[in-house]
A and B are shown apart, each in its own frame.
Chain A
Amino acid sequence: AQSVSQHNHHVILSEAASLELGCNYSYGGTVNLFWYVQYPGQHLQLLLKYFSGDPLVKGIKGFEAEFIKSKFSFNLRKPSVQWSDTAEYFCAVNARGGTASKLTFGTGTRLQVTL
């Protein structure tokens, strides 16, 4: 079974600071990788995903993530955060194959951006 680790539980940044949130997964096979965002009081929304091709993927709102296969990592980055990026961020993975796209989620990272 796959597992996902997000080592940063709570991150506080000032506006315009750069962001990098760590995500590591464990699974021996081929995986699809996702970052979801949950704004306060809202449901989860897809930020970006990787399933093949260029390991650097760009998502909405200026976010990007890089898949490094050798490190089993899929870190999320943004060069300059905004106050509106305050949210909880979840990394998720599913294994290729199987009967349904069951995602395994990390425990989440709460990002707080201060003015």
Chain B
Amino acid sequence: NAGVTQTPKFRILKIGQSMTLQCTQDMNHNYMYWYRQDPGMGLKLIYYSVGAGITDKGEVPNGYNVSRSTTEDFPLRLELAAPSQTSVYFCASTPTPGDRGISSYNSPLHFGNGTRLTVT
């Protein structure tokens, strides 16, 4: 069980470039999330998904797009990179509600190791 896997670990982009941050989980979790972490700011939710084909905006979605074609994968797309998107990005997942009595509301997030992105 690899858990939540993110690639790449590091990336430097020039302003205006695009890229996709990959996230995959092998725990059959329906709920997946993208957070960004900025120094002194904690984590902010960018987008989340409650299942394949369903995505919704979080707190800071501008400049990002997501898709969820499979349960396992939840890629995050930056179309026109800006310096304000320099951050550490974390993907996370939680179990499916009702699965073995687990509620999505109190189950912990399983985080990936993060992607450190610099936009110059």
Contacts and interface: CB of A to CB of B under 8 A. Distances in A.
Do A and B come from the same complex? yes
A101 B94 CA distance: 8
A103 B48 contact: no
Interface magnitude class on chain B: 20 to 34
Given A44-B90, A99-B50, A49 B42 contact: no
23 contacts: A9-B40, A36-B109, A42-B113, A44-B90, A44-B109, A46-B108, A49-B108, A51-B105, A90-B43, A99-B56, A100-B31, A100-B33, A100-B48, A100-B56, A101-B94, A101-B103, A101-B105, A101-B106, A101-B109, A102-B33, A103-B45, A105-B44, A108-B40
Interface of A: 4, 9, 32, 34, 36, 42-46, 49, 51, 90, 94, 96-103, 105-108
Interface of B: 31, 33, 35, 40-45, 48, 50, 56, 58, 90, 94, 103-109, 111-114
